[in-house]
Chains A and B, each alone.
Chain A
Amino acid sequence: MREPLSLDDIRGIATWARAAGLGEIELEQPGIRLRLVFPATGGLHLVRSPIAGRFLDRHPARPDPFARPGDRIGTRDVIGLIQVERLYRPVIAGRAGVLARLLVETGSSIAADTPLAEITTETEGRHGTRS
């Protein structure tokens, strides 16, 4: 028979889940159901490359970058492109906040899952994002 969850287990799971960027996690064992909700207290969200390719901070047909450090970013905003031969895939922010910095130079070749940008996430209260 499995040991019930200890406080240390829960603490460990919470640390791991937060580091993975989860907003909440639910665990179930016979006789126990645990739901951990992490208040978004503001932190750093790492945007990673979805695929290997060449990172571009702007589209070649437009002079301006998709986002500059300090810009407010929406969850679904495109913050860059990954070029693979003739095709571009979008780099999507994934979390709302403020672009803290880009971690790679535009034009550089990167592997899949490379951290590309840091977004300072904001507390998401009931009344929208903190301003």
Chain B
Amino acid sequence: MIEIVQTPPLNSVQDLGRYGARHYGVGTSGAMDDVALSTGNLLLGNPAGAAGIEIQMFPFQVKFRSDVAMAITGADCRAELDGTLLPPWWSTNARAGQSLVLQAPATGARSYLTIAGGVDVPVVLGSRSTCLRIGYGGHRGRALEAGDRLVCGPDSQARQPQGGIGAEPPEAALAAAAADGAGDETVLRVVPAAEHDAFPAPSRCAFWQEAWTVSAQSNRMGFRLMGTPLHLDQPLEIRSSGIVPGIVQVPPSGQPIIQLRDANSAGGYPKIGVVIDADLWRLGQARPGAKLRFVSVTQQQAAEVQRETEAYLSQVAELARLCRREARR
């Protein structure tokens, strides 16, 4: 069991999302950085989609009420276990009574605390994710508060090798980051969406060639971007249609919105593109003020990136499994 000692608002229990109920209007929720949550889980021998804690506001402090193996992944929050600084992307054993303190990261936006056995909260429509916007799922349908106690799942007896094990961060392991532009620009791969061709050439040009700034009006629901406004020659009559995390909509203001994990399941604004699934984790680490650029890819290229990410995760899982087995001998 772990106890939340200190937390600002908006930190929540998340897994990889709620699928299979979108046709009822239920959005997916789930970790903004799915690669970080999965990596933490796989280091511990959990299924990739076990529930963990998404921390997007700092400082955050928990106290372990029982001996557990745990991992810290995502943005480097300089986690300290009873005063000992842990490396980023690290898993280790914590004893009952020990405290873990996470500080605001210097780069990146979200850190993930995963626990052997997973965080055990009730499953709602197939997922343990919290939908903060509507208020269901996760721990009592809300963000975590000081004093909350979270129970770990049945495999919480698992232990990590002495000294712990870490994963190579995906920023270093995957080609995605290598494509990033100068400074703090994040280059995202985008497949053109249904209304892309309806935008006149200058707007399409601006979308693909200019840098977009993540505005302060950005959260788990979506990011509003700032840049050269994108306009249609004449308004489009389109019906509301299903949307997925990653969809880039253009409302009448001309400032695009990237819909993310807590987005509605449908929307009526024209869709100019969709950030590929395998790049959504990088949006999860973009903060207000960050600069984004979009490059066009085909569905086939998107599938290749997905395979690269899956290969990374399975390598982490396999090696971590070997390390844990060796440590038990």
- Give me the interface of A with B, judged by CB distance under 8 Å: 59-62, 76, 78, 81, 83-90, 92
Contact = CB atoms under 8 A, between A and B. Distances in A.
B319 A86 contact: yes
Interface in B204-263: none
A61 B323 CA distance: 22
B164 A90 contact: yes
B320 A87 contact: yes
Given A86-B315, A87-B165, A90-B164, A61 B320 contact: no
A84 B84 CA distance: 24
B163 interface: yes
Given A86-B173, A86-B312, A87-B316, A59 B165 contact: no
Interface of B: 76, 84, 87-89, 161-169, 171-173, 312, 315-316, 319-320, 323
B163 A88 contact: no
Contacts of A89: 161, 163, 165-166, 323
Contacts of B319: 84-87
29 contacts: A59-B87, A59-B89, A61-B76, A61-B88, A61-B89, A61-B172, A62-B76, A78-B87, A81-B87, A81-B166, A83-B168, A85-B168, A86-B167, A86-B168, A86-B173, A86-B312, A86-B315, A86-B316, A86-B319, A87-B323, A88-B87, A88-B167, A88-B168, A89-B165, A89-B166, A90-B87, A90-B164, A90-B165, A90-B166
A44 B292 CA distance: 51
A59 B85 CA distance: 12
Contacts of B323: 87, 89
Contact of A87 (B76, B162, B168): B168
